[in-house]
Chain A
């Protein structure tokens, strides 16, 4: 082999190597971009989740040292009345709040989907409750609902109605928390639904009008079905978020009177920090995670269906 062909061969090898490194770099580049997100996910979600699972197999007080107890915590949950009370209260609240907040969101979106003046201002105002601090909002609702001097009782007093002990009467508590969440969340969902409504092709409504459909028929048979992806997303997210209700009852009633407004997350919190039983709290958290996952999967399975016209 001549030196000229040897040099040429070396150059070809080097070029091939460079091309190979460039191919690898191209393949790796996307992973480098998602690496920060993966790192945050691993550090703040995955690692704590793994630790929680490991903690669910331990018992004892966190201050004086914990010991392995196997599945004892999971068995204890079955006999823990407060766990079932918290779960029942939370489930009842979720069943009430989801149709209310989704319905309110759809209604508001339908109103905003008209050509009205200052529509942008109304949209901005709708989003304010959902970005406000939940604690601050709960404190304000506390003042509004006070038996003595609260705004609601003052308004009732104008009609000669005696003051109502809103936060001290168990049967009013869940409807009150539903009302707080509808006030807080309806605007957020309305924005999502408004975007969905505006993506529906107008020719479908034109065709329906030609066929003699009324406005409510168009809404029921065109708008709602084509909003299915947005409705599914909102329902699943609302279920996940509302099953973790904590802020409002913690600020407004501390789970009382008695256990009337105790939610499952509040009980997990009490178990961890007041009862100093971190193992049981972790166990309940894992059980709650599984419950929410099952509910979300069930909703996705039942309501995921393509709609085409």
Chain B
């Protein structure tokens, strides 16, 4: 039988349309009501504090589901560098994770938008039993407007570390770190070698979004708080704040006692410290944990960051497990949140990462002098602003621009302050 082209095309079109329509029909025999034994899927998102995060949490979830066999848990490690956009997109598109790990500085905009569960409304969670396990400060950082939005998991603050052997080599007392930023600048000059093989001080660049942990510290130490008490005004616009940024600019560009940004990309700067290429640096204990384990002969000094004329604040925060308001399985999510905040899990994770537990009844580093020294510096944190937008995304490019010589420190402070105050006024 001969089929003409036009007839073939017509028949193909009819068949294609029929197949497309059939594909859109619900499957025969499948009901839309869930059965009582249906598996529940929970999603957990967390930015990593170490290379072993995924494996660690997978092992913990395997333990959790022995008591909750109908729960299936999907874990996603979200990069710190894209934290704001990842979680904003997820919550804005009504597809947030059931449980999120959120630092105290990042969660307010989600809480104020009504996107996080108030733990007081969870019938299965006894907050009265949880609260005494934490410092008042740590507990309160996870609240907003009197509502409790998460269970504290870990606290992490920066420390000032130095290479004692290189101090001694330069004729400095290895047990006496610089007490002020001016003194640090002077020490750095003595510790820097002209051939570029050794730098007195190091500042991590912003390639991984981590620069915000370090650069603001001297800015606050010279100029005071970043915002007013109720976060309605950005205060980091004074000459003092400019001086705090300027001293860092000078160390890189004028004194040349700190390597130009990008010389060591991101966390490579901590490897450079461990290898003796940088003598003094601000860091988290977790940045150095594995590096020090690989270098048992390294003589490390650990202390509080230097002070400035205005104060001696350090930088740190607390991370919480929080539940999305959109979560369809609050009871299971609450149970998992409590499990993740339990002593065994907290102890194991802090041992893995070298960070510090938020709860006071867990002491993972009782016999470790180095970790104990880091633990002693977990205090005196500057008050991190709780603004409903990512202010780091505004200040860090400006500060980085000054640190790389593209604009003056005064302009960087002024421009970032102007933009932030305008955003606060705009309400977004």
Contact = CB atoms under 8 A, between A and B. Distances in A.
Interface of A: 25, 29, 32-33, 36, 59-65, 81, 142, 146-148, 162, 165, 167-170, 253-260, 262, 269-270, 272-278
A107 B36 CA distance: 68
Nearest to A64: B113
B268 A148 contact: yes
Contacts, number: 131
B297 to A, nearest CB: 23
Given A253-B207, A258-B398, A274-B390, 17 more contacts: A60-B427, A60-B428, A61-B113, A63-B109, A64-B388, A65-B113, A148-B263, A170-B406, A256-B206, A256-B400, A257-B261, A257-B406, A258-B404, A259-B397, A260-B406, A273-B85, A274-B393
Contacts of B365: none
B400 A258 contact: yes
Contacts of B196: 162
B349 interface: no
B397 A274 contact: no
5 contacts: A62-B88, A256-B205, A257-B261, A274-B393, A276-B390
Contact of A81 (B88, B264, B404, B415): B415
A36 B397 CA distance: 45
B262 A147 contact: yes
A142 B401 CA distance: 20
Contacts of B423: 275, 277
B57 interface: no
| Interface residues of B, dominant DSSP | helix
B34 interface: no
Contacts of A170: 404, 406
A64 B112 contact: yes
B389 interface: yes
Contacts of A33: 9, 13
Given A61-B427, A258-B400, A274-B84, A32 B17 contact: yes
Contacts of B295: none
Interface string B341-360: 00000000000000000000
B81 interface: yes
Task: Sort A-B residue pairs by CB-CB distance and give the 8 closest, nearest first.
Answer: A258-B401, A168-B262, A273-B85, A274-B393, A257-B404, A61-B428, A63-B113, A274-B390
Contacts of B407: 258
Contacts of B112: 64
A64 B108 CA distance: 11
B410 to A, nearest CB: 15
Contact of A29 (B13, B88, B109, B398): B13
A29 B9 contact: yes
A63 B402 contact: no
B89 interface: yes
B88 A255 contact: no
B400 A276 contact: no
B428 A168 contact: no
Contact of A147 (B17, B92, B265, B406): B265
B44 interface: no
B218 to A, nearest CB: 19
Interface string B263-293: 1110010001000000000000000000000
A253 B209 CA distance: 11
Contacts of A276: 84, 88, 109, 388-390, 428
Contacts of A168: 205, 260-263, 404
B85 A269 contact: yes
B32 to A, nearest CB: 24
B203 interface: no
Contact of B109 (A61, A165, A167, A257): A61
Given A60-B427, A64-B109, A270 B264 contact: no
Interface in B1-52: 9-10, 13, 17, 20
Given A147-B262, A168-B404, A275 B393 contact: yes
A4 to B, nearest CB: 34
B398 to A, nearest CB: 7
Interface string B162-183: 0000000000000000000000
Contact of B265 (A146, A162, A277): A146
A254 B212 CA distance: 14
A235 to B, nearest CB: 32
